[in-house]
Structure 1
Amino acid sequence: MHRRRFIATGAGLVAAARMPPALAQRRDPRVLRFVPQANLTALDPVWTTASITQTHGYTVFDTLFGIDDAGKVRPQMAEGHGVSDDGRAWTIRLRDGLRWHDGQPVLARDCAASLERWAKRDVFGGSFAPLLESMGAADDRTIRIALRSPFPLLLSAIAKTAAVSAFMMPERLARTDPFRQVPEMVGSGPYRFVADEYNSGSRVVYRKFDGYVPRQEPAENTAGGKIAHFERIEWSVMPDSATAAAALQAGEVDWWDQVNPDLTPLLRRGRGVTVAVNDPTGYIGTLRFNHLQPPFNNTGIRRAVLYAANQDDYLRAITGNDPEIFSECHSVWPCGTPYGRETLPAELRGPADLNRAKAMLREAGYRGEKVVIINPSDLPSIGPFGLVTADLLKKLEMNVELVETDWGSVIQRRASREPVERGGWSIFHTWWPSPSILNPAITPILRGQGANGWFGWYSNPRVEALSAEWLTASDEAEQARLAEEIQQESFREVPVVPLGRYFIRTAYRTGLTGFLKTASSYPWNVRWA
């Protein structure tokens, strides 16, 4: 472990261990006090794929359709839908009584504009955008979509829960350039964003929206009744894990989103605290290259890093060396899902010979170009990845600069397409919930959309053609064949380096119930027993 990180964590453990037993009373049962995984710097959940912004998005905004625990599409803001016999004309009927947080009614034209903006930023939405002939309002409660050819997965695209979700906004906000953030947070979800109490780096506040009418079905994932049991939700940003652990033990906060693995044993011994894994599918760690700038605009150099990377090193670092919550996965699709076959070519399988990796770099033409790794020092579920990569690349005699900042700064900087000398970057790391990258329709990290794609701007026309075939394939066997072709192309061209699967624990005050089985920390349904 990085010496500075070890000292800080060790000191935190000592400090937390000295905390008195958690005997504090809840100050106000109407308030949920939450410690998020990272600072919230980007507020627009259509502008970025950052998980913290998506959690914020689901608190404030709502979607036309949701996904239940079985992965099936369910109506959410929608009352229902219709589709023509030829599959080209769709109508979506809104539920009665929907209102925006500013008191205005939700109209079909708001939702049509929201879908248009979302489709310009999302991989799945972008798949049907070329087929779109028109989209608008048939009346105040009916959205009408006309396609040039059938797209049977339309509702699946609108309902998906990860990367960029199709959040509905008032038309005046939805007309904002999708590559710029909207200026206001006006949604129709169960909680309202309190702008005048927002302080990036410290505090985020939401208040229950009394005008929200939840569905009557039980809550499952993003589907069903989103019942707000709290009048107020307060996020307290705590970059230091020991501080968050101590606050939870003392009853000063109610829920810590992502627990530092080093502090798990301490919390388990504490009184009044429950440690759990709410997401049964796990997370996939990834190393992402900047494909626009040297040296990783060179496929051979990317392949050398793929060959040299040892998943066991990354997984032990990210989980505190806890083998119960990680497993290697040498696939670009999540292991345990239909396409998660470990078919890494033999020449890239480990254990890696670093001398061979150095030779691969030389043969590919690496000449000492600077590699800037942007890395969050405040996010234990990602930060150790950057330390492992920096150490590996130094062993490969690459010219490495590790830039450690908060996660919010990483999110901002990864949007830069400039060279490293002008504030750009070469590598960053992140994780993805397994369901968010399990097929070609939804994964942004393998798609080769170039300048219109995900951060790193990987371009690969062949992958785009294979993905288009997957969307229209006649049966599951053909889809599986195409997914494997994309996997082999990804091993050749290396858009990312997969780092394996692991689980992230959450912790909360005992007595807090109603947690959903999801990768995101949704606030609805949660309540005191």
Structure 2
Amino acid sequence: MNAPLLSPQMTRRRLLVSALAAAGCMSLPLENAWAQAASKGGAANLAMIGELQSLDPMATPTDLVGTVMQHVYEPLYTFDAQWNIQPMLADTLPAISADGKTYTITLRKGVKFHNGKDMGADDVVASLQRWMAVSARGKAVGQVVAGIAAQGPATVEIQLKTIYAPLLAHLAMPSGMAGIMPRESIATPLVDIIGTGPYKLKERKPDQYTVLARFDQYAARTEPASGYAGKREALLDELRFVPVPNATTRLEGMLAGQFHYADLLQVESMGRLEKAGPEVVPILTKNFGFPYIVFNTRKGVLSNQAVRQAVQTAMGEAEMLQAGFGDERFYSAGPNFFPQGTPYYSEAGADRYNQKNPTLAKEQAAKAGYKGEPIRIMVSRQYEFHYNMALVMAEHFKRAGFKTDLMVVDWATLVQRRNDPDLWDIYVTHSGQFPEPMLSPPQLGEGAPGWWETDTKKAALAAFNSEPDIAKRGPLWGKVQELVYREVPFVEVGRFNGLSARAATLHGYTPAIWPFFWNTSLGK
């Protein structure tokens, strides 16, 4: 991290930041690919998995929106290549009071919005207040925030009701981002898309493209680029994000030279990419994330915890991973939510993982009062591994006597429908693998689809989130993991690596969970 913190009142700050640094063995697989002599110009065609659900960085926690809009909006803090928290729009890491409840944030000077206005403390306060009202992540943070106020034109103070160790990590996340926007542009829904990022919105045609253009007045940081942190430069004139829902179509377009980048390809594509010649470069993003299965705990057949436990007994996560990824280079099965060697590794609940026991599941379901109601499984083929895992999961359920209704929809529809508890019982999704447990999945927060809200959850998370000492947080996370296995709000299937591809002419790209294209250029 940075230089040692000298003042006694900053001790808690060091503890909070070191909690993330200690998870460095899960570090972003990002190399410093800063191209010192890269020339400006050109437009990159970027094939993404689907249509953006929104241009509002706060409106949805989906990775696709975070990936695109992180070029337009920026947060106060971000992550470097080792997952350490670093300042972005903030000038430095915050000063934290001795009791751990007051964060004083000094803002960078000279940062301009895309409308030419200078960013100030009032904009930051209004943006964070909107984030806490609109974003699922922000709402969770808002539960512990006593107040946010400007202390002069370039200083913001956040007062907490209690110590909250994950605060800076939440403020740094690209998905459901606490992006800073001009105070006067704030509205719900958001109409004026104005941020501080290296690119600004130029044009959007739904289902065709979203085009971002270089912001010539962008105020870059001076530190060397590292992960999402440090110097960002818009070397390309335009970024053209093209929705291509079919993975095969993304692959064929990549091989044909239609795209400079193709996101999230099927693992079966690796062979063709390796044989494509020097014009195409496969990208294996390690520790990319984990697929997980979300249960509707509010309404329907799975609102009964005992039925959810029976369904969990029927599942065979290892077979689901095999169906989703095939090649063992791309996945690993295991009950632990975090890899061995990290502060949050735990085997709590391991006996409930990968049981694949239809006989016991049928007995449990009968005792729980299951009467043959269909379990509605909502899934999208835009992430083909979601669909393949869902097919195997449905077969496991059928063997245990459960009826299933597989509802295949496009990703945008799934994201919309999952907010209505009357429309589904299970949906399939995935998340990036982060060093702070409270960053994902959203179901650990409040209000996320699935609506897991129990007193036991609140007590376990309160104990975990109020402890800044990483050595003590680890065992407390084990209790949370055990609770997830017992109450079954979701099932974490395992871990996987991501496969994408780029053209050899796209220089400066570094693999990332949320791909970014500042510091990239086009050449021979």
1:339 corresponds to 2:344? yes
> What is the aligned partner in structure 2 of residue 99 from structure 1?
112
Cα offsets for 1:215-237 (capped at 9, x unmatched): 11122222111111111011222
> What is the aligned partner in structure 2 of residue 430 from structure 1?
429
* Identity across matched positions, percent: 26
Match of 2:504 among 486, 491, 510: 510
Read off the aligned partner of 2:379 and give its amino acid letter: N
Q: What CA distance in whole angstroms lies between the structure 2 residues aligned with 1:410 and 1:125?
A: 22
Deviation at 1:127, TM superposition (A): 5.7
Deviation at 1:62, TM superposition (A): 0.6
Deviation at 1:46, TM superposition (A): 1.2
Cα offsets for 1:42-75 (capped at 9, x unmatched): 2222121111011122121011111111222211
* 1:333–1:341 contact (8 Å) kept in structure 2: yes
In structure 2, the gaps of 5 or more residues are 1-39
> What is the aligned partner in structure 2 of residue 251 from structure 1?
257
Distance 1:216 1:499, change over 3 A: same
Distance 1:358 1:146, change over 3 A: closer
> What is the aligned partner in structure 2 of residue 184 from structure 1?
192
1:482 corresponds to 2:487? no
Read off the aligned partner of 1:225 and give its amino acid letter: K
Show the 5 A alignment for 1:96-495: 96-120=109-133, 125-126=138-139, 129-149=142-162, 151=164, 154-159=167-172, 161=173, 163-174=175-186, 176=188, 181-194=189-202, 197-271=203-277, 272-278=279-285, 280-319=286-325, 321-333=326-338, 337-346=342-351, 348-417=352-421, 419=422, 424-435=423-434, 438-439=436-437, 441-445=438-442, 447=444, 452-473=446-467, 475-495=469-489
Distance 1:60 1:509, change over 3 A: same
Deviation at 1:324, TM superposition (A): 1.2
Distance 1:185 1:495, change over 3 A: same
Cα offsets for 1:88-136 (capped at 9, x unmatched): 4433222222122122222211111111222345676556534433322
Q: What CA distance in whole angstroms lies between the structure 1 residues aligned with 2:89 and 2:442?
A: 29
> What is the aligned partner in structure 1 of residue 70 from structure 2?
58
Q: How many residues align?
A: 482
The TM-score normalised by the length of structure 1 is 0.85
Match of 2:83 among 71, 75, 80: 71
Distance 1:350 1:381, change over 3 A: closer
* 2:293–2:491 contact (8 Å) kept in structure 1: yes
Deviates most, 127-136 or 517-526: 127-136
Q: What CA distance in whole angstroms lies between the structure 2 residues aligned with 1:334 and 1:301?
A: 29
* 1:332–1:490 contact (8 Å) kept in structure 2: no
* 1:191–1:208 contact (8 Å) kept in structure 2: yes
Match of 2:45 among 30, 33, 56: 33
Q: What CA distance in whole angstroms lies between the structure 1 residues aligned with 2:132 and 2:417?
A: 23
Q: What CA distance in whole angstroms lies between the structure 1 residues aligned with 2:311 and 2:255?
A: 41
In structure 1, the gaps of 5 or more residues are 1-27
Deviation at 1:260, TM superposition (A): 1.6
Deviation at 1:481, TM superposition (A): 1.9
The TM-score normalised by the length of structure 2 is 0.86
Read off the aligned partner of 2:364 and give its amino acid letter: M
Read off the aligned partner of 1:360 and give its amino acid letter: Q
Q: What CA distance in whole angstroms lies between the structure 2 residues aligned with 1:67 and 1:511?
A: 27
Q: What CA distance in whole angstroms lies between the structure 1 residues aligned with 2:290 and 2:169?
A: 22
* 1:45–1:53 contact (8 Å) kept in structure 2: yes
Read off the aligned partner of 1:208 and give its amino acid letter: R
Distance 1:239 1:150, change over 3 A: closer
Deviation at 1:294, TM superposition (A): 1.6
Distance 1:119 1:333, change over 3 A: farther
Q: What CA distance in whole angstroms lies between the structure 1 residues aligned with 2:122 and 2:333?
A: 47
> What is the aligned partner in structure 1 of residue 31 from structure 2?
none
Q: What CA distance in whole angstroms lies between the structure 2 residues aligned with 1:317 and 1:409?
A: 24
Deviation at 1:401, TM superposition (A): 1.6
Deviation at 1:206, TM superposition (A): 0.8
Deviation at 1:285, TM superposition (A): 0.9
* 1:120–1:126 contact (8 Å) kept in structure 2: yes
Distance 1:399 1:74, change over 3 A: same
Deviation at 1:190, TM superposition (A): 1.0
Deviates most, 140-149 or 367-376: 140-149
Cα offsets for 1:413-459 (capped at 9, x unmatched): 11113x2xxxx1111111111106x42x3334553x6xx42111011
Q: Using CA pairs under 8 Å that are at least 6 residues apart, name the structure with larger relative contact order, 1 or 2.
A: 2
Deviation at 1:521, TM superposition (A): 0.6
Q: What CA distance in whole angstroms lies between the structure 2 residues aligned with 1:323 and 1:502?
A: 9
Distance 1:168 1:383, change over 3 A: farther
Cα offsets for 1:183-227 (capped at 9, x unmatched): 332211111122xx3222221111111121111112222211111
Deviation at 1:316, TM superposition (A): 1.6
RMSD: 2.4
Cα offsets for 1:294-349 (capped at 9, x unmatched): 21101111112212211222112221x10111110213445663223233353x35
Q: What CA distance in whole angstroms lies between the structure 2 residues aligned with 1:427 and 1:305?
A: 11
Match of 2:60 among 30, 48, 62: 48
Read off the aligned partner of 2:296 and give its amino acid letter: N
